[in-house]
Chain A
Amino acid sequence: MLKIEHLTKVYDNGTVALKDVSFEVPDGEFLAVIGLSGSGKSTLLRCINRLIEPTEGRILWNGVDIASLSQEELRPVRRRIGMVFQHFNLVHRSKVLTNVLQGSLGYVNPVRSVFNRFPQEAIDKAFAQLERVGLEEKATSRADALSGGQQQRVGVARALMQDPEMILADEPVASLDPVLAHSIMQYLEQINQEDEVTVLCSLHFLDLVHRYADRAIALNDGVLVFEGPPQEIDDDKFREIYGKEAERVG
């Protein structure tokens, strides 16, 4: 269970990206995070695995406050939290297989892996993950030789490589066309349902939220303005989340 308490993030330049945000995510839930551009979705997701240092508040996960951990203590926690990014964040010049193996870096011996030595189990597992996203024949291609949709599938495989208990997905489909978007979302859905992995996914399109999420939270200018099942987002709620002028599309 993930429990965010009074989370606040003030950037060095004074921007308040999150203001006193509190909510809970039960294990195995698919939670959508919505809000306008600049409302703080990315900041929220990155605070959870401390890619961004929260300014105040607690992030309780399985009873441990992630916000108070030291860098060394953070490593075993991070390796159980997979992350999928809008721009895939693959290492372009590396092979697809190497990119997937990066997901095991938290588990393998830090000294050995620096010399590109991975245990055979890790390599077998990486192939298995690639197979799961249908890219096993691309294992030895360079990552930048893949299309956007394929790259994001590698991103998903990399997150799976971590044996995650939770996946943070920051607009995983925002740079993909609608068909590809659904295929990626279906992988996340499958991981959520079959492997019982908690998924926190920020999304721009409400139809995706309705189709995939169990529950949604909405941010507006760093403040939590909605928390509940997607069906509850009616026109009034919509305007509260996206502003008075906003019009519903799609």
Chain B
Amino acid sequence: MSGERRSLWRILRVPLLVVLAVVVYSYTFQEADVNLDEIRSETRQTQLVRVLRALARPEVLTYERIETPTDAALALPCGPALPAAEYGPDERQIAVEPSCAEPGAEITVTGTNFSPNARGQIYQVPSSGEIELRLEEFIADENGDFVVVVDTRERPEDVPQTIRVITREPIGSVFSPEYVEVETDDLDEDGNAIVATVRSPRISEAAYNTWDRITETVMMAFLATSVGVLVAVPFSFLAARNIMREVTTTVLRLSLQILVLPVGMVAGIIAARWMQDVSLLLTDSVGLVVGGLIVIPVAIFFAIRRAFPPIDEGLVPRGERAIRVSLAGVAAVASILVLFLLADLLTDLGAWAAPSLARLAFIANFVETLGDILAAIITVITALITTGVAIQLAGRLAAVLRQSLPGGVRKAIAVPLAGLAGGVLAAILAQGVAWLYQLNDPVTTIWIPGAVGAVIGLALAIRSLRKDDIGVGLSLYYVSRTIFNALRSIEPLIMVIVFAVWVGLGPFAGSLALATHTIAALAKLYSEQVESILPGPVEAVKASGATRLQTIAYAVLPQVIPPYISFTLYRWDINVRMSTIIGFGGGGGIGFLLQQNIRLLNYQAASVNMLAIAIVVASMDYLSARIRERIV
């Protein structure tokens, strides 16, 4: 029975698949608007030919040109007979056939005695002589002759009009450039145009612009890659399963840590504000700033040496421990002050040095911007650090409770704490949602999410109490994986639109978009490398009593450095490619110029842009492949 059915399927399988394929492709063609009439249409074809020919002649060099007009009369419509034009025997000449026609009708223009292969345009010049209407272009043959059939414009006049052929022949050549005097747009005192001597041919405006923008493009890729690497490296460990699987905690510990989270953050913000105020006392005088920047770090150095002795002796007496903790705290607070002073010094230094550095002013500007960035992120850094410290302390507290309390009491404390922690966490998250949707009602933004969070916290706590082993690591792993995957699936070309709204059109927006995508992509690639390391060395380092951080530094990092470098180069390659088109989305760089040139139908300039892109992409590709070969 089943054998019969199978053989029936065998017979029908191929025809069914064919029918299916036909249906699918029919639908695809309809959706993709496949239309051969467009391809065959003559106007489209001439347009295409024009574009292709322009693209084939990138305007790298600009030639000054000699314009030579040759005229012949034409009556539109027919009237009294026209006098024939008079030419010398070897002079270039044109003949129009017939010598009169209905406006819009075809005429034949025949040229003789032009220079061999000369190019030019045919114009119709109405009797006023003020405008030249372009009709057609022509190329003479090797004898300097041409015959072109053109449509006249529908501009009837009683008096004769002129058919004018203009050749524009380039002056000089790459190997023997010439100097010519041209009138510029500037006027001298008497109102005459200023005459300047220029070289012909010379490097074109388009080429200069392309050079500017292509360096911008490469720098954009460089910035995005370096920022991406800096952020992706630490995050890659969060997204590595083999590392995170082992990060587990207990209900009590996790609840305490969640509860101190907002405390740590607020403390950090307050500490940063406070230190900023202190730094303002010093920043009036450069001497004080520099002095502070020398004295305070030295003090911090000694405090840290005292607080973190090189050998871990195990248990230390309580008094000694108090000294160490307070020294570490003072050192941390002083470090914030140092950062503020540093930011101030950099900003001042940059602003002061910029005018006197002339062409190197960009270095001073960089220093100033660094100071600015530093000042902007100190508060964030501080909040992160204090939060980290608070979490650490909460962990210690949990450890002490664990040792001093019997299991039953511990669980009895842990459950309500978990409820509280769930509530607080949900309320904090709800604040973000409330901000996004502009909700202001405390019942919906605080109490309801709080209650829901509390219930979830309680339920989770009760569920996991028996084993009391919560895999926070795996949860973090899934969260970070999800975030990275989501970020990675948004193309930088789309991201740049959002960034352009934020920081304006230009390379900065482009760099930010590329950097964001790079972070997500590299974090994923890196974390896969972390997941595929040899477990043996990790086991060995762990067995010697190393902390998690030490294990990563000694057993994981050495193993992943070569693939990290290789992936970084690979990403650099991709970033160069992407930065060439990010301008289409408003991200600056060569893409911006290319888009502009295409819109202005300036295909010869666009061709220069494309040429530059091809050269840069190909050489980066080659370069990174070579470096990767060397390293891995």
Contact = CB atoms under 8 A, between A and B. Distances in A.
Contacts of B545: 74-80, 105-107, 162
A91 B312 contact: no
Contacts of A107: 311-312, 545
Contact of A85 (B308, B312, B395, B539): B539
A72 B542 CA distance: 12
Contacts of B537: 89-92
B544 A102 contact: yes
A161 B308 CA distance: 21
A102 B549 contact: no
Interface in B517-556: 536-537, 539-547, 549-550, 553-555
B539 A108 contact: no
Interface in B66-81: none
A121 B65 CA distance: 81
A14 B559 CA distance: 32
Given A72-B399, A85-B539, A91-B559, A113 B544 contact: no
B129 interface: no
Contact of B544 (A79, A90, A91, A111): A79
A102 B559 CA distance: 15
B433 to A, nearest CB: 35
Interface in B296-339: 308-312, 314
Contacts of A75: 545-547
Given A75-B547, A105-B550, A107-B312, A89 B559 contact: no
B310 A106 contact: no
B48 interface: no
Nearest to B561: A93
B555 A114 contact: no
A110 B402 contact: no
A165 to B, nearest CB: 13
A158 B562 CA distance: 25
Contacts of A74: 545
B544 A112 contact: no
A219 to B, nearest CB: 21
Contacts of A93: 558-559, 561-562
Contacts of A103: 544
A13 to B, nearest CB: 15
A81 interface: yes
A98 B544 contact: no
Nearest to A159: B544
Interface in A221-247: none
Given A119-B310, A162-B544, A94 B554 contact: yes
A70 interface: yes
B543 A49 contact: yes
B536 A85 contact: yes
Candidate in A81, A88, A106 with the most chain B CB atoms within 10 angstroms? A106
A143 to B, nearest CB: 9
A85 B543 CA distance: 11
A83 B399 contact: no
Contact of B539 (A51, A72, A82): A51
A51 B542 contact: yes
A83 B540 contact: yes
Given A93-B561, A94-B554, A94-B558, A105 B549 contact: no
A102 B314 contact: no
Contacts of B553: 113-114, 116
A190 interface: no
Chain B contact patch, size range: 20 to 34
A109 interface: yes
A182 interface: no
A83 B536 CA distance: 12
B67 to A, nearest CB: 70
A161 B309 CA distance: 19
B540 to A, nearest CB: 4
A168 B544 CA distance: 11
A88 B534 CA distance: 12
Contact of B402 (A70, A92, A98, A168): A70
A43 B309 CA distance: 36
Contact of A102 (B310, B395, B402, B541): B541
A123 B544 CA distance: 16
Nearest to B537: A91
A87 interface: yes
A106 B555 CA distance: 14
B311 A105 contact: no
A114 B545 CA distance: 14
Given A89-B536, A89-B540, A90-B537, A105 B559 contact: no
Contacts of A161: 544
Nearest to A95: B558
A233 B540 CA distance: 32
Contacts of B547: 75, 105, 110
A119 B543 CA distance: 21
A158 B550 contact: no
Nearest to B396: A72
Candidate in A74, A78, A102 with the most chain B CB atoms within 10 angstroms? A102
Contacts of B310: 108-109, 112, 117, 119
Contacts of B550: 105, 110, 113-114
A98 B554 contact: yes
Nearest to A49: B543
B138 to A, nearest CB: 70
Contacts of B309: 109
Candidate in B539, B546, B562 with the most chain A CB atoms within 10 angstroms? B546
Candidate in B544, B545, B549, B554 with the most chain A CB atoms within 10 angstroms? B544
A70 B537 CA distance: 22
A80 B308 CA distance: 22
B308 A111 contact: yes
Contact of B311 (A49, A119, A162): A119
Contacts of A116: 553
B539 A91 contact: no
Contacts of B541: 91, 102, 105
A198 to B, nearest CB: 16
A155 to B, nearest CB: 8
B549 A109 contact: no
A105 B546 contact: yes
Nearest to B250: A70
A49 B545 CA distance: 9
Contacts of B558: 91-94
Contacts of A90: 537, 540
A155 B562 CA distance: 24
Candidate in B553, B561, B562 with the most chain A CB atoms within 10 angstroms? B553
B478 to A, nearest CB: 18
Contacts of A109: 308-312
Contacts of B540: 83, 85, 89-90, 102, 155, 158
Contacts of B555: 91, 102
A116 to B, nearest CB: 8
A119 B312 CA distance: 11
A113 B554 CA distance: 9
Contact of B546 (A49, A80, A102): A102
A82 B544 CA distance: 7
7 contacts: A77-B545, A83-B543, A89-B537, A91-B541, A91-B558, A113-B553, A114-B549
Given A82-B544, A102-B540, A155-B540, 20 more contacts: A51-B539, A75-B546, A78-B543, A90-B537, A90-B540, A91-B554, A91-B559, A92-B537, A93-B561, A93-B562, A94-B554, A102-B544, A105-B544, A106-B544, A106-B546, A109-B309, A111-B308, A114-B549, A162-B545, A168-B543
Interface of B: 308-312, 314, 395, 399, 402, 536-537, 539-547, 549-550, 553-555, 558-559, 561-562
The 5 tightest CB contacts between A and B, nearest first, are A106-B545, A79-B545, A89-B536, A78-B545, A89-B540
